[in-house]
Homo-oligomer: A and B are copies of this chain.
């Protein structure tokens, strides 16, 4: 199958490295798989025989690869025939663009879509899922929530027959790192934030994380995907962590708890700092993410891992292998 990659940032580049490192394994599933196009803001690369994965693995920008074509991501998607779009552009929590456009163009051409981009799944979940179904395409978004942690595939493939009654989680590594520094090292919010920024765990404008927008977006995707809701960001009661102070941390500690930015989906959808017992499986520290699923058959199932970083590519690779396995014989 032919793959196009839109977005050559950190996740996109890591994905290319994984394709290169796992080529032998992937060829066992689909001997003809190839990456025929890569686009970024500067233009796109295209080779109908497959781009050179080894060369692509070593560069930081598409301009460093020979033969950059002056055109947009939409051009790449529209002009050439490919089977799978891997979309790794940054999340836009204002309106989900240009991701939504990329997804629609691809799905309307009958391409499967795999993404790490939360924007489209937050703003157009139902529409995109419906479009994929009508076109007989897969729309896979494991990487959008909790990075490397299997979430959607876990429920869909490993907890079949279970009803999901409630989901709790810590879905933002940046705020979890800040709260962990405050808990374990006695720092205040500003000190912990500054340290996170120094380590590039927090961005210079940290509001997307510390005000709870990022975990809220993930919570919306979970609610819609796993619990049949039709939620948007407006349906989430969001409280960030800017007002968490030393007193709150101290009181939590005295009761054997830690303050965590907890996402909850039950009757309501909420993101808010709350005390979490240190001995509960929800209480993970530093940059880790966690989800606790309350189910009718399996009881509580907890899954923990890296919510961001290079590990996220595992989720994209798993989605890709599913699609290669299911469809490669039909192409």
Contacts and interface: CB of A to CB of B under 8 A. Distances in A.
Nearest to A319: B160
Contacts of A315: 298
B297 A301 contact: no
A300 interface: yes
Interface stretch (A5-13, A97-105, A189-197, A278-286): A278-286
Given A281-B288, A300-B306, A302-B304, A314 B150 contact: no
A157 B162 CA distance: 17
B301 A313 contact: no
A25 B148 contact: no
A322 B28 CA distance: 23
A150 B159 contact: yes
A297 B281 contact: no
Contact of A154 (B158, B278, B295, B320): B158
A interface, by DSSP: helix, strand, loop or mixed?
Answer: mixed
A311 interface: yes
Contact of A306 (B26, B162, B298): B298
Copies of this polypeptide in the complex:
2
B160 A321 contact: yes
Interface string A152-184: 011001111110000000000000000000000
Given A301-B305, A305-B298, A306-B299, A314 B281 contact: no
Contacts of A300: 305-306
Interface size, A (range): 35 or more
A186 to B, nearest CB: 16
A128 interface: no
A318 B148 contact: no
A305 B18 CA distance: 31
Contacts of A158: 150, 153-154, 157-158, 318
Interface of A: 18, 22, 25-26, 148-150, 153-154, 157-162, 278-279, 281, 284-285, 288, 295, 297-306, 311, 313-315, 317-318, 320-322
Which 6 pairs of residues, A with B, have the shortest CB-CB distance? A150-B158, A298-B314, A157-B157, A297-B314, A302-B304, A148-B298
